[in-house]
Structure 1
Amino acid sequence: MAAKIPKVPTRNSVLNNTLSHMDDIFEFEKKEEIPKVVTEPRAGELVEMEFDRMESFPGHKFKLYTGQRLQDMINSIREFGILEPLILWKHEEKLTILSGHNRENAAKLAGHTKGPVIIKENLSYEDAVLIVTETNLRQRSFADLSYSERAFCLKQHYDAIKSQGRRNDLLKEIEDLMNPHEIKENPTLLENPTKLRSDEKVGDEYGLSRDKIVRYLRIATLIPSLLDYLDTKRLGFEAAYDISFVKEAQQFLIAEMIEKEGFTMDTKKSALLHSYAKSGSLTDELIRQIVSGERARKPNSNKAKPIQIKGTVITKYFTEKQSRKEIEETIEKALDLYFAERSTEQESKVG
């Protein structure tokens, strides 16, 4: 009977067992894995950040790009990456996008999960809104904006004028944040921001008359659904301006009649709404009658219409030296005398 040949352990098993026993003999402590420390970026630093850590600005008034414009941005990001950093507002443990909603959207569609950002802190809500408005205006032309976006922009600039001194520095900082690589090379990109947004320059800045600006400011007070109708051309610009004088609660009724009942709003109807609203006599029932077309004109007023006296009559009885007040007093006395004599004649006839 053949003798059994003992099985020789392999080199690796011997080495592993030996090392394992050596650890026990010398009581080596096993090293624990050190967790990676995630440091928060400092305000003003240009850093990369994941999109899922960000949130959109609440009540954001600017619409995201669609169609070819969106596709062009997606293609650009795929080829060159995100060239301009997003501006984030750090507040209440949140990171809110102030500038870059379109870049974030296009980057996600291009397959990116993060992008370059600059973080701002210690902002008031008004400051944050101003950055949202300013950055959108610098990235698009005013003509590219929808009616509601234009109204929003002009309203924000109008409000910013009230605290112009404090916001001038912020406007300069916005310019720097949007051009982080040009700050040192061109520190005077916005040397005189006071002139840029002064009341006298608003019309020139947007190519609008003062009357047009006032109308946009009024339109900015419309409820969101009516602003959407304006942007989609279900509501005309002049009609939107007229409806802006209607109380907010009643605007909802108008929007509901347009949406659910399919009524159209022309300038004749809107002018009626405007007129009744300014006089304080607009009721829900009147709104239904006007929007439905049942009431097409304003009722005749009981007030007497003013009468103008011909110039030939004035020159017949008065001289050029007599004042307007003297002429009016004389006419009033003549009328009193005329009606007094007429009353006497009627009394004598009755008697």
Structure 2
Amino acid sequence: MAVKESSASKIKFKGVDALFGLSEEQECVREIPLDELDTFKNHPFKVFRDDKMEEMIESISEYGVLVPGIARPSNSGEKDYELVVGHRRKYACRELGLKTMPVIIRDMSDDEATVVMVDSNIQRENLLYSEKAFAYRMKYEALKRQGRRTDLTLVQVEPKLKKRWAAEMVGTEVGETMSTIKRYIRLTYLSNYLLEFVDKNELPFTVAVDLSYLKSNEQSLLLAFIGTTKKMPNGSQAKKLKELSQQKELTGEDIEKILRGEAKVNYQKISFSEKQLQKYFPPDYKKEQIEKIIFQLLDSWKAQTEQRG
């Protein structure tokens, strides 16, 4: 289904070569020792030996590395270069016992390197939810920071609009809606263990998004319940957990009641009309003043009740 063109697609964004001030004539491929290529910091894409990797190893064994990686000079002091694009190729070369791989060296800022790294990997097939989530978040954060640059004409834009622009830009470039991008980014607030359930398709994406709003200690309690009962929350239960977490600190008992489908733990909603309260307060009292007095009286009543009990 075609994605509706968003306002972000109308923004003129510099191409990679223009952004880096490079032309094809200036680029040269160098054979760099694998031991001198550090992994890109917080690289979100997993590298392991699956069927696709077997195909790559076979191809490199027969034809060599046909497409060079991209690296930048390292600031860590431990290795000479930081690999931006080509981590799977590096893995394949090491598996074949090769000592070097062809690499293009470019000077890039952190944000520029992040955008290149994500764009070079995001269209791969069968990416995990976690890979997309962290990749989208990294690019979103990079574009949001680049929005402060005067050459992108966004220096005067309000922070809220910068966030919207960045989310729209990420969505436009990967064929997703802005709301979908935001939901993926929410997954990065899940604990690693819960996110692993999502990657294994044991926890539905939409359910996981609601659970991402739980505090870290609440997620730990939920994980303990899942480990004991082998029971995953469904959509309505996840929404209840999210709503209750926003009202109070979730306890293990709260989680168990909701996931076992027992009595609701949501508080009853009690409301009073303005007419009911008029005789208790002066006519010039504002809503905030009335609420403050009501809660003070309730606190006093609760303290007296506990003392008698």
TM range (shorter): 0.5 to 0.7
1:265–1:165 distance in 2 versus 1, CA, 3 Å:
closer
Larger radius of gyration: 1
Q: 1:301 aligns with which of 268, 272, 280?
A: 268
- Specify the alignment match of 1:216 in structure 2: 184
* Mapped partners of 1:167, 1:85: distance in 2: 30
Aligned residue for 1:91, secondary structure, equals: coil
- Deviation at residue 275 of structure 1 after TM alignment: 0.9
**Aligned-pair RMSD on alpha carbons?**
3.5
* Mapped partners of 2:52, 2:178: distance in 1: 32
8 Å contact 2:29–2:103 — kept in the other structure?
Answer: yes
- Specify the alignment match of 2:141 in structure 1: 159
* Mapped partners of 1:279, 1:245: distance in 2: 12
- Trace 1:265-284 onto structure 2 (pairs within 5 A): 265-284=233-252
- Deviation at residue 300 of structure 1 after TM alignment: 5.3
Aligned residue for 1:270, secondary structure, equals: helix
* Mapped partners of 2:28, 2:149: distance in 1: 22
* Mapped partners of 2:144, 2:177: distance in 1: 21
Q: Does 1:74 align with 2:57?
A: yes
- Specify the alignment match of 1:51 in structure 2: 34
- Trace 1:127-166 onto structure 2 (pairs within 5 A): 127-137=112-122, 140-141=123-124, 144-165=126-147
Aligned residue for 2:39, secondary structure, equals: coil
- Deviation at residue 227 of structure 1 after TM alignment: 1.6
- Specify the alignment match of 2:75 in structure 1: 91
- Deviation at residue 245 of structure 1 after TM alignment: 0.7
1:305–1:212 distance in 2 versus 1, CA, 3 Å:
farther
8 Å contact 1:88–1:98 — kept in the other structure?
Answer: yes
Query: Which deviations, in whole Å up to 9, do the C-alpha atoms of 1:297-345 show, x marking residues without a partner?
Result: 3445142599xxxxxxxxxxxxxxxxxxxxxx9xx79xx9xxxxxxxxx
8 Å contact 2:211–2:241 — kept in the other structure?
Answer: yes
1:111–1:49 distance in 2 versus 1, CA, 3 Å:
same
* Mapped partners of 1:213, 1:49: distance in 2: 36
Q: Does 1:100 align with 2:67?
A: no
User: Which residue identity is paired with 1:53?
Assistant: E
* Mapped partners of 2:105, 2:253: distance in 1: 52
- Specify the alignment match of 2:17 in structure 1: none
Q: Give the gaps of 5 or more residues in structure 1.
A: 1-42, 170-196, 307-328, 337-351
Aligned residue for 2:179, secondary structure, equals: helix
* Mapped partners of 1:120, 1:252: distance in 2: 42
Q: Which runs of 4+ in 1 moved over 6 A?
A: 166-169
User: Which residue identity is paired with 2:191?
Assistant: I
- Specify the alignment match of 2:217 in structure 1: 249
1:58–1:214 distance in 2 versus 1, CA, 3 Å:
closer
* TM, length-normalised to structure 1: 0.57
Query: Which deviations, in whole Å up to 9, do the C-alpha atoms of 1:254-275 show, x marking residues without a partner?
Result: 2343346533222232122111
- Deviation at residue 88 of structure 1 after TM alignment: 2.7
1:305–1:117 distance in 2 versus 1, CA, 3 Å:
farther
* Mapped partners of 1:167, 1:81: distance in 2: 40
* Mapped partners of 1:82, 1:167: distance in 2: 36
- Specify the alignment match of 2:201 in structure 1: 233
Greater RCO (Cα-Cα under 8 Å, separation 6 or more): 2
Aligned residue for 2:173, secondary structure, equals: helix
* Mapped partners of 2:128, 2:150: distance in 1: 26
User: Which residue identity is paired with 1:134?
Assistant: D
* Mapped partners of 2:109, 2:55: distance in 1: 33
8 Å contact 2:218–2:250 — kept in the other structure?
Answer: no
Amino-acid identity (%)? 30
- Deviation at residue 107 of structure 1 after TM alignment: 1.8
* Mapped partners of 2:168, 2:178: distance in 1: 10
Q: 1:112 aligns with which of 89, 93, 98?
A: 98
* Mapped partners of 1:257, 1:147: distance in 2: 23
1:155–1:167 distance in 2 versus 1, CA, 3 Å:
farther
Deviates more, 1:113-122 or 1:225-234: 113-122
- Deviation at residue 46 of structure 1 after TM alignment: 2.5
Aligned residue for 2:105, secondary structure, equals: strand
1:249–1:225 distance in 2 versus 1, CA, 3 Å:
same
User: Which residue identity is paired with 1:153?
Assistant: A
1:200–1:92 distance in 2 versus 1, CA, 3 Å:
closer
- Specify the alignment match of 2:21 in structure 1: none
* Mapped partners of 1:144, 1:73: distance in 2: 16
- Deviation at residue 45 of structure 1 after TM alignment: 4.9
- Specify the alignment match of 2:175 in structure 1: 207
* Mapped partners of 1:305, 1:80: distance in 2: 78
